[in-house]
Every structure is written in structure tokens, then in C-alpha cells.
Amino acid sequence: MTGSSAASASTREALILAGEQLFGEHGIDGVSLRQINSAAGQRNSSAAHYHFGSKEALVNAVYEYRMERVNHRRLDRLADIEAADEPPDVHTIVATIVLPIVDEIQHSDGGSHYIRFMAQMIGHPRVSLVELWNSRFGEGLSRVIGLLREALPDVPDTIIGQRFGLMWEQAIHALADRERLSGGEEADEMIEPDLFVSNLIDTVAGGLSAPISDATRAALKRR
């Protein structure tokens, strides 16, 4: 990589990380490209526009910056699952969703900013969860959904799809809330990492595999 290419890549990463932090703290609509330029230490006020073209493109770049690593970890876990003799249960499958995200939060610089950004992103009215899952780093999630269908053969695809969306949002917001609460002694006792994450996986697995009520079955038939 030439010196100019390295400088460009460094600037791009600085903008991504600054955007991630500001979006996580203030929301996507509460931050301008000019503010991100300033936070990234860029004297050129058009640097973010030059590298990304728009705020929407920068938001996508932030998502992909982290998701590349998260997806790699998820694929490693899926390879271990698929190499085993026994089909995975729902709890094991859910762990492949949650734990790669937790690893990124706990073991990478800016992990706390990452999960707060994710909570802001998935709650934004112009962000489609389906498009996120189908992005170029969404292979792991696609395979997870396939495993869930196999593990829950009596649950219709429509219900699995809805529950997956609900549980995904629950997991992201729960992890983001935990990061916001971290710091105080009492809070840390309530949200001790291993217990919190394990209980979160239990909760998500329970939601995905919950019995389908008569009311839900009736609504499904009316579709």
C-alpha cells in the first residue's frame, strides 16, 4: 500500500470510528457529517463526504466495519456446530448469534460504541433489518436462520421470521443497555457479564421456541 493509500485508509477508519461513537451517543439523525469530520480530527470539512458520499453510506460502512469480524467469528462457530454428530438445539444456535457480538463488545477497541450504534441503527425508521441480514457480511445470520428452521420444524416460517426479528432487537438493545449501565458498583453486580449474557441467550432461545398460542395460529390462518 502506498503512502497516499495508507493515509486514505487511515482517514476512512478514523471517520468510521468517529461516526460510530457519535451515532451511538446521539442517534443517526442527531449527528452531521461536519461533526463527524471534527471528531475524527479532519481539517477538511468535506472529508466524510469525499470518502462516503452521504451519511447513509457512512452508516452502512460503520455497520460493515464491525460485521466483517462478527460474521467471521459466527462462521467459525457454525463450522464447529455443523461438524458435530448431533444437530444443535435452539440454545446453541442462539449462542452463535449473541456471542460473536459480545466478543466484539468486550475484546475490541470501541466495542461499547459499537453496540450503542447498533441499537440506534436497528431502531431507525429508514433501516431495514432484512437488508442488514442480507448484506455481504450476513452469511452467518442466513445460516443461523436455516438451522433454526431445522431445530423448530413445528414452527411456521412466518413465525420464525417474526420471532427472529423480535429476538434480534431484544438482544441488541439488552446488550446496549448493559453497556450504558456499566460503571456503578450496584449496576455491575446486577449486570455481571457472564450471568447477563448467559441469561440473555436463555431468554432469546425461550422466545424463539415458545409454544404458539391459539390466537397466533388463528391470525396466521387469516393471512
Give the burial class of 30: count Cβ atoms within 10 A of its Cβ; 0-12 exposed, 13-18 middle, 19 or more buried: exposed
Cα angle 49, 57, 28 (rounded to 5 degrees) comes to: 95
Q: Taking the chain (223 residues) in consecutive chunks of 10 residues, what is each chunk's mean pLDDT?
A: 70 95 95 94 87 92 92 95 92 96 92 94 85 82 93 95 93 92 59 88 97 95 88
**Residue located via cell numbers 466483517:** 68
For position 45, what pLDDT does the model report?
78
Dihedral angle sign, alpha carbons of residues 131, 134, 140, 144:
positive
pTM above 0.75, yes or no: yes
The DSSP secondary-structure symbol of 146 reads: H
Q: Are 180 and 116 in contact (CB under 8 A)?
A: yes
The pLDDT assigned to 132 comes to: 78
Q: Residue 104: what pLDDT? A: 94
How many Cα atoms are found within 13 Å in the side-chain-facing hemisphere of 144? 28
Coil, strand or helix at 87: coil
